[in-house]
Structure formats: C-alpha cells, structure tokens
Amino acid sequence: MIRSDIKALAAYHVPDSSGMMKLDAMENPFSLPDGLRDPWRDVLAKVEINRYPDADMAELRGQIAAHAGVNADQILLGNGSDEIIQMILLAVCAGACVVPAPTFVMYDLISHWLKRPVASVPLSADFHLDADQFLQVCAREKAEVAFLACPNNPTGNLWPEATIRKIAEGFDGLLVIDEAYGPFSERTHTHLLAKNVMVLRTFSKLGWAGLRLGYLIGEAEQIAQMNKVRMPYNINALTQASASFLLDHFDVFEQQAAEIKEERERVMAALSAINVVTAFPSQTNFILLRVPDADAVFEALKRHGILVKNMNSARGLLANCLRITIGSKAENDAVLKALGEILI
Ligand SMILES: Cc1ncc(COP(=O)(O)O)c(C=O)c1O
C-alpha cells in the first residue's frame, strides 16, 4: 500500500525540548510585547471560526506586498515557507533539483517525496559556493529547479551577490532564492527577480514561527501558475487575522531582529575567544561552530538544560559542528557560561 521509498524514510524528527532552553530551531526569543497582546486578543476574538478562511487573501497579500515593495499579484502565501517549497516542486516540470551541500534539508526531502531527482554541489571547506560548478551541474543534470538559501542554513554565510547573480543569469530553470534569514543579513535579492528567479521568505524567524506564514515573490504570471497547486484554504483564519494585525506593528519585530544581530556579534566574539572552538561568521540568527567532540558537547549542554542542534551526524563539512540559535541576552550568557565550563 505504502511506497517502499516512503517506508524507508524516517519521519522529520523534532526533539523533545520540555524544560529546556530551546536554541535548536532559529526561533525569535522574544514573546509578543504586553502592549500588543490585548489588542491582538481582540482581533482574534472577532474571527469567525465557523467559516472557512479567506481563500484569496487579497488584503493580506496587499499588506505583505507593500512590506516587500512589490505588487499583490506577485505574492503567494504558504503555511510556512516549507509548504511553498512543496508547491514549487509540484508545479515545476519533471527534472532534477540542484542544491548546494550542505543546505536546508527540506529541498532534498520534499523532492524525494515527489520522486524528483536531486543533485548537490559541495561547498568548499569555508562554505564558498562556486557558481561555475553549480551551473555545470545544472546543465549536466538538465535541472528544472534550484534552491539557494541566502544566507545558507546550516552554515550561516551569505554568498557574494556576484555568485547569486551569475547563477540567476546562467540557469535556464527556476532559481529560488530562499531568504528565510534575510532579516538578519546585509542583503536581499528582489532586484534579481525575473521570469525564472523567485524569492522565498518567511515570518518564522522574525517572531511568528507558531503562526506558520511564508511567502513567495515572483513575476505575476509565474505566481498565478504556482497558485494553482496551493490548497484552497492553506492559511488559517487565525493566522490571517494575526498577520494582518502584526504587520501594522512591524517595527516591533524589526527592532527585535536588530537586537538579535547585536547579540550575534557579541556571542561570536565570545566564542572566537575559546581556543578549541571554530565559530563560522554568520548573517543569520544562529551560529555554526566546530568543537573537538560535538556529540559530547551536545550532551553536556543538554545537562546544562540547553538544547542546540547537533549537526555531527551529517559528517563531511559538518563533522563536529553544532548550530546554536541566538537567544535572549540571558540565554546567550547561559550558553557561553556552559560552553566555558565544558570546553575550557
Ligand atoms: C533556509 C530555510 N528555508 C525555509 C525554512 C522553513 O521555514 P518555515 O517553514 O518556518 O517558513 C527554514 C527553516 O528553518 C530555513 O532554514
């Protein structure tokens, strides 16, 4: 009954974090400010949950379009950007998907669900991406789609603009530039939008992970095609109402992102001062670091009540690497103190 390749897969594992300081999933550490809670509650109380949500979401798309500096018909909304990755891989012609390695796992995973072959292009030891090599693999595999996370997860770096531009201009298939960490990086890429170039974003890392809302920006004609594989009511009514309200207070979340970036630099400096740690420069809300024995450090951090992401099982460039989300100042202090005790 069930496909054998599906049977062979492991379900996406989310570790139990109860009672732990949760620094494994790139969430924003700040909860919604008290001043916004009551008016938000009033907005939610008015939502008619007996009705299906607005299927077209023209108003919300308009708000997001204004925020992104494009037109409403250039926006497609998804239940998290994960769902949009799935829509893209459903809509694009059969043919390989090309990704760098390592990168965000869902491009590969969803391609496999949909029986789409995946080819990966290894990054160099310092996580550099070679545009010529990437384009060669795209040509060799007759690729129809490619994803570039800019900045990249889990490495945290942002490839030069010239690299992204070269791939955008040299690739015939659809290039998706995933800006999940755009709010923490020095550059975004809407200036590269074209018939075959789309930009993917999410509100998850900006403090709304629980709402599940991502969006794709592209040319109106391409967005209209992708919209055909969108589930009719994919964004629930509570998320729509919340997002519409929160977008009117977006400065709050931008300020939080600014604080996270400041904390990232402070944590980076402190980690770099630990001899046995290699901390890789980051343009995201997390830092990838290499330690002498990642499995041991991961377990020791857990004993300190801190949950981070252990990347060691991926081996290769990620051997002995941990990915630590930037938390609140108190959380970051706790991580640095614990690492000091474990490693020094
Ligand atoms: C590069 C990248 N893209 C997309 C996502 C998915 O985000 P969401 O589905 O929460 O919008 C993530 C989540 O970690 C990510 O790292």
CATH number of the domain at 82, please. 3.40.640.10
Identify which of 106, 147, 148 to mutate to test ligand 1's pocket (most ligand atoms within 8 A of the CB): 106
Measured from the CA of 214, which atom of ligand 1 is nearest?
Answer: 11
Task: Specify the residue for token string 């290699």.
Answer: 278
Q: Are residues 231 and 308 in the same domain?
A: no
* Ligand 1 centroid to residue 46 C-alpha, Å: 30
Residue type, position 308, single letter: V
State which of 199, 223, 248 marks the end of a domain: 248
Cα 44 to Cα 35, 105, 241, 289: the distances in Å are 15, 34, 7, 41
Same domain, 194 and 69: yes
Q: Is residue 44 part of a domain?
A: no
Check residue 272 and give left, alpha or beta (phi > 0: left; psi -120 to 50: alpha). Answer: alpha
- Domain contains 150: yes
**DSSP tag of 186:** S
In whole angstroms, give the CA distance from residue 155 to residue 129.
12
User: At which of 217, 233, 248 does a domain end?
Assistant: 248
For residue 104, the ligand 1 atom closest to its alpha carbon is 1
> At residue 43, what is the residue type?
V
Q: Is residue 41 part of a domain?
A: no
Give the angle 282-286-289 at the CA atoms, nearest 5°.
75
CA-CA distance, 186 to 177, in Å (whole number)?
Answer: 15
pLDDT at 297: 98
CA 254 to chain centroid, in Å, comes to 17
282: in domain:
yes
User: Does some domain include residue 302?
Assistant: yes
Q: How much distance in Å is there from the Cα of 81 to the middle of ligand 1?
A: 6
The per-residue pLDDT for 12 is 86
How far apart are the CA of 71 and the centre of ligand 1, in A? 23
Q: To test the ligand 1 pocket, which listed residue (81, 188, 285, 325) has its Cβ within 8 A of the most ligand atoms?
A: 81
Q: Are residues 232 and 258 in the same domain?
A: no
Residues 6+ apart with CB under 8 A from 162: 131
Atom 12, ligand 1: residue with shortest CA distance = 180
- Co-location of 166 and 87 in the same domain: yes
Nearest to 283 by CA among 205, 206, 185: 185
Please say which residue of 248, 272, 296 terminates a domain.
248
Secondary structure in 3-state letters for 216-251: EECCHHHHHHHHHHCCCCCCCHHHHHHHHHHHCCHH
Same domain, residue pair 83 and 197: yes
178 and 87 co-located in one domain: yes
Q: Are residues 179 and 214 in the same domain?
A: yes
Ligand 1 shell residues, CB under 6 Å: 26, 80-82, 104, 149, 153, 178, 180, 202, 204, 214
- 181-219 b/e with 16+ CB inside 10 Å = b? bbbbbeebbbebbeebbbbbbbbbbbbbbebbbbbbbbb
Supply the pLDDT for residue 344.
81
In the predicted model, residues of the chain with pLDDT beneath 70 are none
Nearest in space to 257 (alpha carbons), one of 80, 69, 24, 26: 26
Q: 240-272: buried (b, 16+ CB within 10 Å) or exposed (e) per residue?
A: bbbbbebeeeeeebeebbeebbebbeebbebbe
The encoded tokens of residue 212 equal 């599940």
8, 54: one domain:
no
Assess if residue 124 is contained within a domain. yes
Structural contact between residues 110 and 89, judged by C-beta atoms closer than 8 angstroms? yes
Residue 195 lies in a domain: yes
* pLDDT on residue 13: 86
Cα–Cα distance measured from residue 42 to residue 49, given in angstroms and rounded to the nearest whole number: 14
Q: How far is the CA of 343 from the centre of ligand 1 (A)?
A: 31
Owning domain of residue 89: 50-248
| Ligand 1 centroid to residue 104 C-alpha, Å | 8
The answer for residues whose C-beta is within 8 angstroms of residue 325's C-beta and 6 or more apart is 22, 23, 24, 25, 26, 27, 29, 285, 286, 308
120 and 223 belong to one structural domain: yes
Task: Look up the CATH number of the domain holding residue 320.
Answer: 3.90.1150.10
Give the other-Cβ count within 10 Å of 117's Cβ. 14
Instruction: Report the domain count for the chain.
Output: 2
Residue 249 Cα to ligand 1 midpoint, Å, equals: 23
Same domain assignment for residues 232 and 313: no
Residues 163 and 303 in one domain: no
Q: Is residue 40 part of a domain?
A: no
Q: How far is the CA of 178 from the centre of ligand 1 (A)?
A: 8
Q: Are residues 105 and 146 in the same domain?
A: yes
